A and B are shown apart, each in its own frame.
Chain A
């Protein structure tokens, strides 16, 4: 009984003590200035990131597109101009082909590789993974562009979308394997052993158990690959000669007027179309699977 009676007393004592500090009405001038400064910085930072977005949303519908943001004189003429361009829509299709192709290749190979790397013990496995991760940034980077070009030339894969997909996959795979291995590592061994006792082959275990369990990881990898390929300029720019095959990111650089000035009407409109598929895919995948960058099993 005594403890029950004591509880409320102690509770009120605590709230009394806390009350002055928690109340916003009593702030020192110093706190007020600090608060104002804080919000000013936040507002400036927000504006810095928001302005390009606003430009992207408003300029395509502006009759006189410029580099400043203004209330647009609404028009859809820019879109008509864009449709008149013989390569615009085709390049978006090319982008999709490259992105989807690379994503498929990366997901399939990363799933196989991460499963085996997670389950087979080889000496220096972690070193190998780190080395791959380090080197991968070179493969798709500028440094290795000349040897890669020569290699693709020897293989007869210049001006071929398959060649681009292969190079991009090679560059993205190590990081994908690295992320996926973490997912596979969290699958208890007993799952696989149980399946093995029932007679499942390694391939069946991968298909029936590992892949379904790491599905959020696979979705993350797929989206991450698509985003990477979608924004990649250098590799397709160098490996693809034919304008018909070039993806959106490469084609955009051709949008100049005869006078040599950037054609802002085309660029802004095209940029808007170019960003929509990525945003849509992000929303879809995030709703369906949720993004996770680490493994783990809910049980």
Chain B
């Protein structure tokens, strides 16, 4: 158990590719922490740097208060689960799980006993003498986890732990992994490109882009108040509406229409300033009849999401998505009005894409 601290960490590849760019981050003990970002954003490089598989160009990696920047991976007292699980094909399940202990020089009987216990914990009881090739994807993943658990490390690192599982198994593995982490209380960093996975599992999330952290926060913070348009765009199963507009007094003018400017940012926005009006489709309300303070347009797309439908309205080059409850879906070509939910509208400065006003969600701030 240990906290992880990254101080001014940079990883530069030949050709001046800055995979990780002077990054500061503190992950407290026992936390389940997600590194989230699109592919190529440097999240895996960052994880590998913490593991010691990549040499640091600049800065420090500290685990449990101790500077481990110069230590080889094996001396950092951590366990890593790889995307492809990296199970050794020529060893049985029990030998795979016992491998870290074999490296540490534990006698065979002792390490096989420990391995069997770790295997039982992860319900691998009857599979101990099988080869990895004789296991299903979910079982292979549990073997990889058991191997990490068996060596009782201070830190777990998971590289896209769920991406090789099919959709249903992934949901199961998600709750399983979260439960396991809480039981063991080991500080865990996991990498994912799936925002839903990060929101569901992590205690805190760092959203990364181009080697930099764009926002760190709890799933709630990141979801409700994305700190910039990048995060706003990336988080959420349906992309957030980001409508370019101009602030004018109490309203924001968007493509010839007007929506009210939220009270809490009125002081921070200058008259005539270019802004981006951000609202999640889930927080917008669709109305088939005329409504005050609304945007109106024509329904051009209706996508079925199961319990709701995602409706896209278009008006004068403007495109707004809104979710509509089951049974109330409009027809294509209908006219529609969209109103906002108070406290759920975000205003970004058009210049740098940063959030205007408080970074803390209203609900947690109150």
Instruction: List residues of chain A with CB under 8 Å of any chain B CB.
Output: 188, 190-191, 193-201, 204, 208-209, 212-213, 215, 297-299
Contact = CB atoms under 8 A, between A and B. Distances in A.
Interface stretch (B15-23, B33-41, B68-76, B346-354): B68-76
List of 4 A-B pairs having minimum Cβ-Cβ separation, nearest first: A199-B74, A194-B86, A198-B100, A190-B86
B103 A200 contact: yes
B99 A195 contact: yes
Given A190-B84, A213-B90, A298-B89, A197 B103 contact: no
A39 to B, nearest CB: 44
Interface in B71-121: 72-75, 78-80, 82-84, 86, 88-91, 99-100, 102-104
B83 A197 contact: no
A193 B72 CA distance: 11
A195 B80 CA distance: 10
B78 A197 contact: yes
A191 B74 contact: no
B132 A299 contact: yes
A49 B79 CA distance: 60
B53 interface: yes
A194 B82 contact: yes
A197 B133 contact: no
Given A188-B84, A193-B86, A198 B99 contact: yes
B51 A199 contact: no
B115 to A, nearest CB: 13
Nearest to A200: B103
B259 interface: no
B72 to A, nearest CB: 7
A213 B80 CA distance: 21
Given A190-B82, A198-B151, A199-B104, A209 B74 contact: no
Nearest to B157: A197
A188 B100 CA distance: 18
Residue from B75, B79, B90, B91 whose CB has the most chain A CB atoms within 10 Å: B90
B83 A190 contact: yes
Contacts of B88: 191, 208-209, 212-213
A191 B86 contact: yes
Given A196-B73, A213-B88, 18 more contacts: A190-B82, A190-B84, A190-B86, A193-B53, A195-B103, A196-B72, A197-B52, A197-B73, A197-B80, A198-B103, A199-B73, A200-B74, A200-B103, A212-B88, A215-B90, A298-B133, A299-B89, A299-B133
A264 B53 CA distance: 66
Interface in B48-79: 51-53, 72-75, 78-79
A196 B75 CA distance: 10
A29 to B, nearest CB: 55
Contacts of B52: 197
Given A188-B86, A190-B84, A197 B104 contact: no
17 contacts: A190-B82, A193-B51, A193-B53, A193-B80, A194-B86, A195-B99, A197-B52, A197-B74, A198-B100, A198-B103, A199-B73, A208-B88, A212-B90, A213-B89, A297-B89, A298-B89, A299-B133
Residue from B72, B74, B91, B133 whose CB has the most chain A CB atoms within 10 Å: B74
Nearest to B52: A197
Nearest to A191: B86
B53 A198 contact: no
Residue from B53, B75, B79 whose CB has the most chain A CB atoms within 10 Å: B53
Nearest to A196: B73
A193 B82 CA distance: 9
Nearest to A212: B90
A201 B103 CA distance: 9
A194 B144 CA distance: 10
Contact of B51 (A191, A197, A200, A208): A197
Contact of A194 (B72, B80, B89, B132): B80
Contacts of B83: 190
A199 B90 contact: no
Contacts of A213: 88-90
B84 A208 contact: no
A203 to B, nearest CB: 11
A197 B53 contact: yes
Contact of B100 (A199, A209, A299): A199
A209 B132 CA distance: 14
A188 B83 CA distance: 12
Residue from B84, B103, B132, B151 whose CB has the most chain A CB atoms within 10 Å: B103
A198 B90 CA distance: 18
A185 to B, nearest CB: 16
Nearest to B150: A198
A299 B137 CA distance: 11
Contacts of A209: 88
A297 B84 CA distance: 13
A297 B151 CA distance: 27
Contacts of B90: 212-213, 215
A297 B86 CA distance: 12
A210 B91 CA distance: 12
Contacts of B53: 193, 196-197
A157 B294 CA distance: 97
Contacts of A191: 86, 88
B57 to A, nearest CB: 18
B348 to A, nearest CB: 40
B189 to A, nearest CB: 13
A195 B72 CA distance: 12
Nearest to B159: A190
Residue from A194, A200, A201, A209 whose CB has the most chain B CB atoms within 10 Å: A194
A35 to B, nearest CB: 45
A215 B91 CA distance: 13
Nearest to B81: A194
A181 B110 CA distance: 36
